[in-house]
Amino acid sequence: MSFARKVWHLIVAVKDGLSLVFLLLFFFALYAVLTARPSPAAVREGALLLKLDGTIVEEKSQVGLFDTLMSGQAPAAEYDVQELVHAIDAAAKDDRIKAVVLDLSRFVGGGQVHLEEVGAALDRVRKAKKPVLSWAVAYSDDGVLLASHASEVWVDPLGGAFVVGPGGNHLYYGELLKNLDVNARVYKVGTYKSAVEPYILDKMSDPARENYTQLYGALWSEWQANVLKARPQAKLAALTADPVGWFKAAGGDAATAARNAGLVDQLGDKVAFGKRVAAVAGEDAWDDMPGAYAKTELEPWIADNPLDDSGKAIGVVTIAGEIVDGDAGPGTAGGDRIAKVLDEALDDDLAGLVVRVDSPGGSVMASEEIRRAILRHKAKGIPVAVSMGNLAASGGYWVSTPAQRIFAEPDTITGSIGIFAVVPTFEKAAAKWGVHADGVKTTPLSGQPDLIGGLPPEADALLQGYIENGYGDFISRVAASRKMTAARVDEIGQGRVWDGGTARQIGLVDQYGGLSDALEWVAKQAKLGDGDWHAEYLGDEGRTTDTLLRRLLVGDSDARTASTDLFGTLAGRQQAQLAQIAADAERLGKAQGMQAYCLECASTLRTGPVGTLQGWLAKLIALIG
């Protein structure tokens, strides 16, 4: 019996061991599938199809399987702007690509700087004597800007092109919070630091209105100049001065009105457009569906055109999205994560470092963690430059201060040098419901912060002093970086937001240019010639590909969303406003440290689908309740 028992235990152990081996093999195989790269074998002679059914971003956000399943909806499609520009530039030089096709029927948008970078790449395709053709059911501002760089712009006869310009209303909750007996205690420095205004006012303050009138005016001027440079025939002034009159003059036909305004060239459905592309790029021998044409899609094209990795490496670290404490991201700038990425690269033989910033700011502590990590690279004696994308405001400017040179575009949003914090207390609401606070205190600060009993004057004074000290730190960092006096920085600070053109005039930015200009400057400082260096994106080994996990979760674009007309666009804006309500409520309710954040700056960017009405209302009610 003893022998039989030992044999049985051996058999069970072998069985358990084999089960573990097969389980490990299964998970290795699953990982391999979910991180699979698209095959370059799918590249075909014909057109490069850029079916942009989402948002152009600086850095793709992380796709979480669990979060996606819990949300009940697929994540919005995102397109890395540097990846997209690289793909277009490769198409301009490759004889297999006869034309570039933009399908903007589901295009959500992107920051103005990103759109101009993609537009400039499309201009390089046309300079290479290759046509760029664009089609959509309806174009809005971002689509108009991108399509203006095409040699032919088509629109569905039932669609149109609609230009509304930047700006619009913000939401203010001062009266709501008063009615709810919520005391939003604000601690800030900066006359123009308007991120706190939604919680204490019922309308925009005069300083904020002055600031954003100037900012939006500059962005609008840049948008018009970019469109008119690409399409001189566009009648933007007349169209935007009297859009209803222009619409009526076309007999109420929005597509015809768009053509009369010079925003589109041809009216035609997708089949007619496909036939036009086929005449340029060739028929599709594998597809006999109406409107088919020979094409290569974006993912296999990127896989077939990897980034050059010859020569010395110049590091590029991306700070995209809100700056937060912890390991969040990509797509959100987790301070600990980015600092770790930078520290892990300290042993690499980098010739220089470019910090790419596209952020409205956020946590002061996280911004400082990132700044210190950048300084550790600078201490090695390598050149450090900052390239600002759409946004580098508040904390986004804080992390830019170590740079020896700052590059931005005229329509980059920057500045917003100011600090704030908001602490909601509920002493009035508690008393109304019969809840009171009392106890024994050994000091004026015992038991603080007391969100139910309220804060004593000593706590208020301490918190305001903490914010003022933080603002002093911000001012001193900017002054040392920009070689200004603290008084001068305070004068252009105070939370005021600047467009890139003005920021250059007042010394917050050194020169105009994008990421490639910053890289070339660093290479020159490192005494590297053309072909002697390459950009190495730190902590982003998979930048040139997307995983199957994202593609599976995002799903087929044709099934996920349908082409949208004017009313579909309006519905998307309604959803975005509901998302803003929920985000504002969450920002008030969650515990945060000092903030160097530009709330209005973030609202200038386009975002993807924002979830269901029921979901946002439930979230809002939960936060307020």
Closest CA to 243 of 145, 141, 143: 141
d(CA 107, CA 152): 18
If we measure between CA atoms, which residue out of 534, 544, 81 comes closest to residue 303? 544
Taking each helix axis as running N to C, give the angle between helix 112-127 and helix 81-93, from 0 to 180 degrees, rounded to the nearest 10.
Answer: 10
578 contacts: CB under 8 Å, gap ≥ 6: 610, 613, 616, 617
Contact 410, 222 (CB under 8 A): yes
- Phi then psi for residue 562, to 5 deg, are -105, 160
Residue 231: beta bridge partners?
A: none
What would the 3-class secondary structure string for 485-531 be? Answer: CHHHHHHHCCCCEEEHHHHHHCCCCCEECCHHHHHHHHHHHCCCCCC
Residues 6+ apart with CB under 8 A from 614: none
How distant, in Å, are the alpha carbons of 311, 331, 394, 494 from that of 334? 30, 9, 16, 26
Closest CA relative to residue 336, chosen from 359, 375, 369, 372: 369
Residue pointed to by tokens 């700087």? 113
Residue 51: CB atoms within 10 Å: 19
In angstroms, the CA 575 to CA 286 distance is: 40
Is the Cβ–Cβ distance between 275 and 292 less than 8 Å?
A: no
CA angle, 339 as apex, 338 and 341 as ends, to 5°? Answer: 60
Q: Is 99 helix (H, G, I), strand (E, B) or coil?
A: strand
Beta strands per DSSP E along 11-73: 46-51, 54-57
How would you class 471 by CB atoms within 10 Å of its CB: exposed for 0-12, middle for 13-18, buried for 19 or more? buried
Q: Each residue of 200-222: b (16+ CB within 10 Å) or e?
A: beeebeebbeebbeebbebbbeb
Provide DSSP, 425-473.
Answer: E-HHHHHHTT-------SSTTTT-S-TTT---HHHHHHHHHHHHHHHHH
Burial 12-25 (b: 16+ CB within 10 A, else e): eeeeeeeeeeeeee
Active-site annotation, residues: 193, 394
- Closest to 216 (Cα-Cα) out of 493, 570, 576, 603: 603
For residues 453 and 438, give the distance between their C-alpha atoms in angstroms, rounded to a whole number. 8
Q: How far apart are CA 253 and CA 185, in angstroms?
A: 52
Cα–Cα distance for residue pair 608/305, rounded to 1 Å: 27
Pairing of strands 384-393, 350-359: parallel
Distance CA 136, CA 508 (A): 39
